[in-house]
């Protein structure tokens, strides 16, 4: 990779639902807008192409790295805009016909697959508002940490519920990450209390940028996401954040800022446990 440089990035906020074509049209519109605004890397949220009941995502899952219609369309978008894309939650075929993988895919600006991370922590919960989600019923768990090279340096990949497990991000930093992609579909119930706190905590303790794309609003049935896609710097300051509805937030990732923060407050170097 060439020398890391200051790079403008964007995180997308969507209200994806069961209509694949409608979702992809919104993705294309917002990625084009972010690229026109100068972003050379754009992060899409979890479930960007489809947020629907389990049988629907099984039907649209594609193998990686070869892909199918959804991956081909995203690759064409990367080539058109000359922007790297992080496909935040791509439905990938799994090792059996009853499951998919919830995968975070880094596409280069030429549309090629640079890296694939399969979600390690699956969201199996009963929330106080009556929401019951059992992701493991239809998603095959991943097992490996993944980092990938970008123009600004090393990017660590994750998906949504991973955000609650700081050891994953410490592992990504140990692999050289200076920025962390956190594409998500955080529920409204948990998001309103935990989203900002967790993202800022991961930025501060990892002394890294956090690039958090998000789903927002009502998707189908009772499924509602919190939104507030944002970019935070290594000090935990929120640099840009989406408001209500679909859109994007953009900011600069500067490797020199990471170096200064890590030098002035060397907590990563002071670790004694783990």
Q: Which residues are known catalytic residues?
A: 46, 119, 160
Find residue 11's DSSP bridge partners: 43, 249
- Classify 213 as helix, strand or coil: coil
Q: Are 11 and 248 in contact (CB under 8 A)?
A: yes
First to last CA, the chain: 29
- Going by C-alpha positions, the residue among 163, 86, 61 that lies closest to residue 121 is 163
Which tokens belong to 267? 């907590």
Q: Tokens 């899952």 label which residue? A: 61
What is d(CA 159, CA 144) in angstroms, rounded to the nearest whole number? 13
Q: What is the largest CA-CA distance in the chain?
A: 51
DSSP 8-state secondary structure symbol assigned to residue 150: E
Q: What are phi and psi of 103, to 5 degrees?
A: -115, 140
Give the DSSP letter string of 215-259: EEEEEETTEEEE---EEE-TTS-EEEE--SSSEEEEEEE-HHHHH
């Amino acid at each position: 990779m060439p020398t890391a440089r200051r790079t403008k990035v964007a995180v997308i906020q969507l209200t994806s639902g069961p209509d694949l074509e409608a979702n992809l049209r919104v993705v294309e519109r917002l990625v084009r807008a972010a690229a026109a605004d100068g972003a050379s890397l754009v992060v899409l949220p979890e479930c960007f192409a489809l947020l629907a009941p389990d049988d629907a995502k099984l039907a649209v899952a594609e193998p990686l790295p070869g892909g199918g219609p959804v991956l081909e369309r995203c690759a064409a978008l990367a080539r058109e805009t000359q922007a790297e894309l992080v496909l935040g939650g791509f439905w990938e075929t799994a090792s059996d016909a009853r499951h998919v993988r919830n995968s975070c895919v880094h596409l280069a600006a030429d549309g090629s697959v640079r890296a694939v991370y399969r979600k390690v922590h699956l969201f199996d919960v009963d929330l106080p508002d009556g929401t019951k989600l059992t992701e493991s019923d239809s998603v095959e768990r991943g097992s490996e940490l993944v980092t990938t090279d970008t123009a600004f340096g090393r990017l660590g990949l994750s998906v949504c519920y991973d955000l609650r497990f700081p050891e994953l991000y410490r592992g990504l930093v140990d692999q050289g990450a200076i920025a962390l992609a956190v594409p998500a579909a955080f529920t409204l119930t948990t998001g309103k209390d935990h989203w900002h706190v967790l993202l800022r905590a991961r930025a501060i303790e990892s002394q890294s940028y956090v690039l958090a794309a998000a789903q927002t609003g009502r998707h189908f049935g009772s499924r509602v996401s919190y939104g507030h896609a944002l970019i935070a710097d290594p000090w935990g300051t929120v640099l840009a954040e989406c408001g209500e509805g679909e859109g994007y937030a953009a900011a600069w990732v500067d490797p020199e800022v990471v170096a200064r923060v890590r030098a002035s407050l060397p907590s990563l170097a002071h670790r004694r446990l783990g």
